[in-house]
Structure 1
Amino acid sequence: MTEFSGEAIGRGGTGRAVFAVDAAHSRGRFSPEADSPTRTPYQRDRDRIVHSTAFRRLKHKTQVFIAYEGDHFRTRLTHTIEVSQIARAFARAFRLDEDLTEAVALVHDFGHTPFGHAGERALDEKMRSFGGFDHNAQALRIVTALERHYAEFDGLNLSWETLEGLVKHNGPLRGPHATPGAVLPRPIRDFDALFPLDLHTFASLEAQCAAIADDIAYDTHDLDDGLRAGLIDIADLAELSLAGDILREVTAAYPGLERSRLIHEIMRRHITRMVEDVIRTTAANLSACAPDDADAVRAQDRALVAFSPAMRAAEAETKRFLFARVYRSPSIMRVMNRAETVVADLFDRYLGEPAEMGGAWSDAMAQLGTEKRARHVADYLSGMTDSYALGEHRRLFDATPDLR
């Protein structure tokens, strides 16, 4: 049975754990490439992700608040960096491959549209007759086809393990452990037919670390941004099991602490408690299952990187609070409804008048059938930043909604 000492978990230990992905035995890339003499496959993946156009665009894509509402709100890029930092902490604790963990964390939001989930809802509605639109599937399209900078292949030609983590970080997409009733997005289905990603299994521990780090990051920073925006007040946190307990702890230790310091103290402890809970719970899961290698992890009937039951309940409570008080607040919904209109208007105009896209995007439309034309427009639109989408709407329409 695998043993976890304080040395191995708290300080990272030494060497690679037996259940970690082994970079020396990667399953390769869709387009075969010679190995690098200086970097592992996952180091190359991480570097390609960071140097991609899609990564740079994240700095001008909405997380919850439109960028011009304030310079200090999170964007997709700052969120991604926070996820990566937390995910690497887990990888170090369990002696996993940190580079693979980081690569999956850095690429996980590539497929998000301008204006976040509002843009995704608009595109999904427009693409309903053509297989829909899913940001996770779009991320796969970006890294396998739409980034076109390399001489020998389209996309980034990432390793099998990074693609697996991107597609399955939230769990299997086929088989008995897939989410009941979930439809497999067509772009994932089509790519899997060419380069099978074992959609019926769980992903590696590295990908699981990135997935749970995503939950921890946005639960915490969306509370922080909600406070900054005035949608919630510090006193409102008292109704939450996790944040309320931390609020009481901090105010008892530092009575009269100024607001900005109080909020920061709550949020940093919020992350710490969730991270430490995941480390304890996952250590127990790994000790109980004792997987011999990464494939044994994939063959489990559940994710091994997990919250304890108590923390899972507290995390779900936090999400419900955020949906009610932040994501579905009248001011946010007003802006997001207008943002959906911007994306929907642009889709209809580009589909009807492809020349408005310009350049190669416009030229390609003449060679495509109806479904592929719609997907082509969705590809073009989903790559836009918030500011570019608004600029295009102002160029093409007499009136553009004020996203304030």
Structure 2
Amino acid sequence: MRPFGERWRAPYACDPAHSRGRLYPEAASPTRSEFQRDRDRIIHSSAFRRLKHKTQVFVYHEGDHFRTRLTHTIEVSQIARALARSLGFDEDLAEALALSHDLGHTPFGHTGEDILDECMRPFGGFDHNAQALRIVTRLERRYAAYDGLNLTWETLEGLVKHNGPLLDAKGEPTLRYVARGVPLAILEYNTQQDLGLATYASGEAQIAAIADDIAYDAHDIDDGLRAGLFRIEDLREVPFLAGLLEEIDARYPGLEESRRIHELTRRLITRFVEDVVAETDRRLAALEPQSADDIRGAADTLVCFSTPMREAEAAVKRFLYAHMYRHPDVMAVRRKADDILRDLFSRFKADPSAMPEEWRAGLEGADETRLARRVADYIAGMTDRYAVQEHERLFDVTPDLR
């Protein structure tokens, strides 16, 4: 295993000097690589700033120390950079993908995506990856020469495919999309710029995806404990976590609760990261890739957990699902948030004039599908508190999200 912290780029890394380019060609920057420019455009986007007030699991006013989409994104970015540096992938591309991976998420966490998908079911559904693509290619309006951020092919490819191929070799939807089909927004954009939907994404995109899982597990344990949804001793249900707690208690007997929680989460992240590096090194040695396309053309994901750690990580997720995501207090807030978003979608679809002028512009004579997609775009971009404010403006009674 290579030393952690050593910066280098392997032959199989994406090389910004040989990017496949942007949809709208631009002159190179004299001070930044192409992937650094993508990262900076994402950070300066309106959608990125809105992540500050979008829920991770808890709604925005439940406490200043709970994660939001923005703090989660920063944590994913840190883990992705560490993995990319250790494995020889391009750090800047991995960071850009980590920073952009949640841009398409709705207000009120995953419940918002579920409700928008339900509302949009007759019109092609709603998918946060497809929505992120719409944001960075259409909905961000900052530049004079084009809509969107005009990101490189490599960033767009990674944004769309970080969870694996969308199509099989025959051009049919993969298992993830077989029931509903590949989201229309992705297929439409793919006709303009072929993102290779039937191959795996780059190693940098795979890194961003697994960094997301690692960050989720660690900070949801932290937030769940601090919120009192479960006790630290309950974590002993998961053998992997029980082992970490035994290490901490043996080394620091009688440690105060807050420090004990932090020692647990930092060890969890470290073990996950070290395992991913070791397993990915093993797979890279077996494949011997000489280019980024060799990674894309592999028969399976290259950046992943070992089998024992994959099972441990799945056990952590099962614990969180039962004790946190489906906790009665969390579910009660989710049901209220569901009502807010359903009300907003129905109202805006029935009366587009209730939306701001910039969102209703050009809808004259639009068919029902186009109108519904515009409404979904507007709602998906809302922060939690703006969604509540819009509901208060339009309805006599608004659920209290507490």
Coarse TM-score class (shorter-chain normalised): over 0.9
The reply to whether residue 197 of structure 1 matches residue 212 of structure 2 is: no
The letter for the 1-side match of 2:123 is F
Q: Distance in 1 between matches of 2:11 and 2:320?
A: 38
Q: Distance in 1 between matches of 2:54 and 2:366?
A: 29
| Equivalent position to 1:179, from 175, 180, 187 | 175
The reply to whether residue 170 of structure 1 matches residue 163 of structure 2 is: yes
Q: Distance in 2 between matches of 1:297 and 1:134?
A: 26
Shift of 1:179: 2.9
Residues 99-156 of structure 1: per-residue CA shift (max 9 Å, x gap): 1010000000000000011111111111101100001100000000000110000000
Q: Distance in 2 between matches of 1:81 and 1:236?
A: 28
The reply to whether residue 32 of structure 1 matches residue 28 of structure 2 is: no
For 1:67, what is the secondary structure of its paired residue?
Answer: coil
Q: What corresponds to 2:289 in structure 1?
A: 291
Q: What corresponds to 2:394 in structure 1?
A: 396
Q: What corresponds to 2:239 in structure 1?
A: 241
Q: What corresponds to 1:67 in structure 2?
A: 60
Shift of 1:360: 1.7
Asked if the contact 2:57/2:325 (under 8 Å) is kept, the reply is yes
Q: Distance in 2 between matches of 1:155 and 1:396?
A: 30
| Equivalent position to 1:17, from 10, 25, 40 | 10
Shift of 1:31: 1.3
Asked if the contact 2:168/2:198 (under 8 Å) is kept, the reply is yes
The letter for the 2-side match of 1:332 is V
Q: For 1:109-258, what aligned pairs fall within 5 Å after superposition? A: 109-175=102-168, 178-180=174-176, 181=178, 183-258=181-256
Shift of 1:367: 4.4
Residues 277-333 of structure 1: per-residue CA shift (max 9 Å, x gap): 001000111011100100000000111001000000000111111111100111111
The reply to whether residue 87 of structure 1 matches residue 80 of structure 2 is: yes
Asked if the contact 2:67/2:219 (under 8 Å) is kept, the reply is yes
Q: Distance in 1 between matches of 2:261 and 2:369?
A: 49
Q: Distance in 2 between matches of 1:281 and 1:172?
A: 21
Q: Distance in 2 between matches of 1:204 and 1:244?
A: 35
The letter for the 1-side match of 2:387 is A
Shift of 1:368: 2.0
The letter for the 2-side match of 1:376 is R
The letter for the 1-side match of 2:53 is H
Q: What corresponds to 2:322 in structure 1?
A: 324
Change (3 A) 1:288 1:122: same
Q: Distance in 2 between matches of 1:189 and 1:247?
A: 47
The letter for the 2-side match of 1:307 is F
For 1:105, what is the secondary structure of its paired residue?
Answer: helix
Q: Distance in 2 between matches of 1:224 and 1:55?
A: 24
- Range that drifts further, 345-354 or 177-186: 177-186
Q: What corresponds to 1:101 in structure 2?
A: 94
Shift of 1:365: 2.0
Asked if the contact 1:26/1:160 (under 8 Å) is kept, the reply is yes
Shift of 1:259: 0.3
Q: Distance in 2 between matches of 1:325 and 1:19?
A: 41
The letter for the 1-side match of 2:94 is T
Shift of 1:45: 0.3
After superposition, the CA RMSD in angstroms is 1.2
Q: For 1:328-347, what aligned pairs fall within 5 Å after superposition? A: 328-347=326-345
Asked if the contact 1:12/1:94 (under 8 Å) is kept, the reply is no
- Range that drifts further, 53-62 or 352-361: 352-361
Shift of 1:12: 2.1
TM-score relative to the length of structure 2: 0.97
Q: Distance in 2 between matches of 1:149 and 1:364?
A: 19
Q: Distance in 2 between matches of 1:280 and 1:174?
A: 29
Asked if the contact 1:394/1:400 (under 8 Å) is kept, the reply is yes
Shift of 1:370: 1.3
Q: What corresponds to 2:278 in structure 1?
A: 280
The letter for the 1-side match of 2:175 is T
Q: Distance in 2 between matches of 1:239 and 1:305?
A: 28
Q: Distance in 2 between matches of 1:351 and 1:233?
A: 44
Q: Distance in 2 between matches of 1:399 and 1:365?
A: 29
The letter for the 2-side match of 1:80 is T
Q: What corresponds to 1:76 in structure 2?
A: 69
- Range that drifts further, 29-38 or 191-200: 29-38
Q: Distance in 2 between matches of 1:336 and 1:11?
A: 41
Q: Distance in 2 between matches of 1:30 and 1:297?
A: 23
Asked if the contact 1:171/1:178 (under 8 Å) is kept, the reply is no
Asked if the contact 2:5/2:82 (under 8 Å) is kept, the reply is no
Q: Distance in 2 between matches of 1:234 and 1:11?
A: 32
Percent identity, please: 60
For 1:100, what is the secondary structure of its paired residue?
Answer: helix
- Range that drifts further, 239-248 or 147-156: 239-248
- Stretches of structure 2 that go unaligned for 5 or more consecutive residues are none
For 1:322, what is the secondary structure of its paired residue?
Answer: helix
For 1:127, what is the secondary structure of its paired residue?
Answer: helix
Shift of 1:50: 0.2
Shift of 1:232: 0.8
